Structure formats: structure tokens, C-alpha cells
Amino acid sequence: MIDVLLVDDHAVVREGYRRLLELQLDMRVVGEAGDGEDALRLWRALRPAVLVVDLALPGLGGIELITRLRQRDPASRCLAFSMYRDEVWVLQALRAGALGYVTKSSPPGELVRAVREVHAGRRVLSADLEAVSEADTGETGPHGLSPREFEVLRALVGGRSVREIADQLCLSVKTVHNIHYQIKAKLQTTSDFDLARLAWRRGWLEA
């Protein structure tokens, strides 16, 4: 039996996917979380075989959540399940440690198949992401940003303060300032306005 933890901030969405997965004779949903912090707590308590993680979570983002889970247990198996189809999102999720990535526009059977593949320890991408190179899973993503830098960037241009980001990611304020500087250097921007404009243009922000 494959025990699954669903992580998505929309209860209606979780209910739909719960029903889909529980129609499978080899799967059961053992828990649901609406944000990253709750997901970490449930993961510690339930130790599910597979976590299905939305990337656009409030507070602790999905990429940072996957990063933390893999740091705590390298054997943990995460499937990114997101509305984002852009290559930057896919590669950042894979680099953070996700074994697979399925878009929410995929047929229901794609999610079911992906859960089984991830449980078996195999890399899987939904059919609409075939153009993404599965081999391109180094430490840095497009424009040289690491998964953590990518999350900090999105938090900054999303309006969160350095103190809020530091508290959310369990980092010091000084570390967040350093990451902020590194991001601007890598993206060759000189101001937060330029960062926000670049992030918006490239679709790195929630709509």
C-alpha cells in the first residue's frame, strides 16, 4: 500500500485528488496539509511513502519544503504537482529533490501513474513537460539560482520583509541579506524593482 500525504492550500483541490487516489487499490491518503509547516509536522508523524506537493504554498513554499524534507531524510519521495509549466519551475523542483513533476492540467491518470513511479524511486514528468531535460538537475537552475535563492527571490518580490523570510526559512537576517545580494549579482540587477520586473516577466510569481 502506498501511503500518500497531499500538500495543497486549497481544500477543494485536496478533496478531489484524495478521491482520485483512493479509488486505486494500492493507494491511501493518510493526511492532508494546507501549508509547508503543517506538511512538515504531518510528515514527521505519519512518514508517508510519497508526498504530493503543490509549489505555490503560503508561507513556506513548496520548493523549500521539498528541500527540507530531503535534508531531513534523503530517502523521502516527493512529487511536485503544480499549475506551473515553465521549465524554471520544473528544474528548481527537481534540483530541490523532487523525483517527479506533474502539471495540474494533466489528465487524472498522469497523477496516479506519477505517484506509483515516484514510490518506485523513478523519475517522472507529465507528458506536457517532455521538452524539459530530465538530466539537467545540477545544483543551480536557470540564471544560476539555487532552489533556496529562487524561493528567497519570490518571497522578496512578493512583498515579504527580510525578517519574515529569515523566520520562515529558519535563517539569520544576515544570511537572507547575503542571499539577496547574491541573487542580484547572479541576475545582474541593481534594485529590487528590477528584480520584481524580471521575476514577473519570466513568470516566477503567482498570478
> Is the pTM for the entire model greater than 0.85?
no
- Where in the chain is CATH 3.40.50.2300? 2-129
Euclidean distance between CA atoms 88 and 73, whole angstroms:
25
Q: What is the pLDDT of residue 43?
A: 96
- Where in the chain is CATH 1.10.10.10? 142-201
What residues contact 87, with CB distance under 8 A and at least 6 apart? 131, 132, 142
pLDDT tens column, 106-144: 999 999 999 999 999 999 999 888 656 544 545 555 567
Cα 204 from chain centroid? 13
pLDDT tens column, 67-120: 999 989 989 999 999 998 888 888 889 989 999 999 999 999 999 999 999 999
Tell me the pLDDT band of 207, cut-offs 50, 70 and 90: very low
Residue 57, amino acid: L
pLDDT tens column, 26-63: 999 999 999 999 999 999 999 999 999 999 888 888 99
pLDDT tens column, 164-193: 888 877 778 888 888 887 888 888 888 888
Fold adopted by 2-129? Rossmann fold (3.40.50)
Q: What is the pLDDT of residue 2?
A: 96
Strands 100-103 and 78-82: what pairing? parallel
Architecture of domain 142-201: Orthogonal Bundle (1.10)
